[in-house]
Amino acid sequence: MSLQQAACRRQQAFPRRAIFIGSVLLLLASACGGSASERQVVVSAASSLTDAFADIGQAFEAANPGVDILLNMAGSSLLREQILGGAPVDVFASANPPVMQTVIDAGLATGSTAFAGNRLQIGVPGDNPADVAGIEDFADETLLIGLCAEVVPCGALARDILLEAGIEPAIDTSEPDVRSLLTKLEAGELDAGIVYVTDVIASEEVIGIEIPDALDPVTEYLIAVVAEAPNPTGAEDFVAFVLSAEGQQILAAHGFTPP
């Protein structure tokens, strides 16, 4: 039997209208399914919270059977753009106050709560191939240097620190979020980058070098229920859980400081 004959046979076996009717039904069905939003909470959280929020999400699901936490991890600024663009998000956790403020200014959140603190550190591959000793080495043209992009909190803060230290960095890449920067450090493709202490803790291959307190390398994380949250009750519950003793304990275990 040739391919054409086979195709014809299949066409006969398939009632002509079935495909059409089937697709219309599918469209209708997807428009009607509203109850799902009651059972899931969509959480947009800064990339640096990846591991901590995975644990918090699991603990929340264990404490609230039948509720699904959907984590949407990316750079805070990309998450903000998604929310400003009308993404159906319930909770937003930002890695710095200015990004959260723009969401509040846009009327998409009424207020926010600080829930954790973090600190930037210089991250280098485990064997420190370029013998990076401190922030001064970021001016060295011969090194492969990476920072987070200026729009993401870790990139903005890193540039503030370098400016404060009077160092013009010889950047080779501006990564879209802290985790992609961390990956390139882990792979040994970059000699140094500026990441969070929590990333250094999370990574087995990257080691951290302190940035002096005088350069103020600290940041504050804020969390808010999004104004147009499809599941406001679930969102409130999740925020309360993050602020609870159990949530704070998980954050501390990942190296975050209390707010």
Between CA 134 and CA 123 the distance in angstroms is 10
* CA 191 distance to own-chain centroid: 24
* Interaction between residue 16 and another protein (CB under 8 A): yes
Angle, helices 232-243 vs 50-63, to 10°: value is 110
Nearer to another protein, 41 or 74 (CB): 74
Supply the DSSP string of 115-136, one letter for each residue.
EEEEEEEEEEETT-TT---SGG
Given candidates 83, 184, 221, 238, which one binds another protein under the rule CB under 8 A?
184
Which range touches another protein (CB under 8 A), out of 134-142, 184-192, 233-241, 244-252?
184-192
Using CB under 8 A, pick the residue from 40, 64, 180, 244 that binds another protein. Answer: 180
Q: Does 10 bind another protein (CB under 8 A)?
A: no
- Minimum Å gap between C-beta 19 and another protein is 7
**Shorter beta-carbon distance to another protein: residue 79 or 120:** 79
Residue 80 lies near another protein (rule: CB under 8 A): yes
Q: Which residue has the tokens 């591959």?
A: 125
Based on CB atoms, which residue is closest to another protein, 186 or 228? 186
Residue 152: CA count within 13 A, CB half-sphere: 26
Q: Is 176 in the site for another protein (CB under 8 A)?
A: yes
Q: If DSSP codes are grouped into helix, strand and coil, which group holds residue 73? A: strand
Least CB distance to another protein at residue 185 (A): 11
Give me the residues paired with residue 120 across strands.
Answer: 196
- The token duo for 222 is 């804020």
> How many positions of this chain bind another protein (CB under 8 A)?
28
Nearer to another protein (CB atom), residue 97 or residue 117: 97
Minimum Å distance from CB 99 to another protein?
9
Distance, in Å, from the CA atom of 251 to the CA atom of 117, rounded to the nearest integer, reads: 10
The three-state secondary structure class of 2 is: coil
Stretch that binds another protein, among 133-141, 158-166, 185-193, 213-221 (CB under 8 A): 185-193
CA dihedral 208, 185, 120, 122 (to 10 degrees): 50
**Which of 97, 117, 134, 188 is the binder for another protein (CB under 8 A)?**
188
Q: Among 81, 164, 220, 228, which residue sits at the site for another protein (rule: CB under 8 A)?
A: 81
Interaction of residue 20 with another protein, rule CB under 8 A: yes
Q: Minimal CA–CA distance to 202: which of 36, 47, 40, 80? A: 47
Q: Which listed residue (44, 73, 75, 254) binds another protein by CB under 8 A? A: 75
**Among 158, 156, 146, which residue's Cα sits nearest to residue 183?**
146
219: region left, alpha or beta (phi > 0 left; psi from -120 to 50 alpha): beta
Nearer to another protein, 153 or 234 (CB): 153
Q: Which residues bind another protein (CB under 8 A)?
A: 16-17, 19-20, 23, 75, 77-78, 80-81, 144, 146, 149-152, 171-176, 180, 183-184, 187-189
